[in-house]
Amino acid sequence: MAKLPKQETENTQAQFPKEALLRSQKYADYRDLLSALLEDGKSYTHEEVEGLIDKFQKGKVI
C-alpha cells in the first residue's frame, strides 16, 4: 500500500482581510482597536489577530 503525502495543515490557516475582520461578529468588541492596529490591504489569521489584541492589552500604560 502506497503512503499518501503528508498534508501541510499547520501552515494553511485561513487569512482574512482587515475589512472582513472588522465586520466579524467575533471581534465586535474590538472593532475600534483592530481598526487602528491592522494594516489596510493585509490579511491576517485569527491567531495573529488574537496575538495583536493580547499584546495590546498587556502593554504598559505610560
CA separation for the pair 53, 39 (Å, rounded)? 14
* pTM greater than 0.85: no
* Alpha-helix runs per DSSP H in 1-62: 18-23, 31-37, 46-57
Domain range summary for the chain, segments of one domain joined by +:
16-57
| pLDDT score of 25 | 97
- With a cut of 60, say whether residue 50 has pLDDT above it: yes
Instruction: Record the cell numbers describing residue 3, joined without a space.
Output: 503512503
Q: What is the pLDDT of residues 23-34, one digit of tens each?
A: 999 999 999 999
Residue 52 burial by Cβ neighbours in a 10 Å radius (0-12, 13-18, 19+): middle
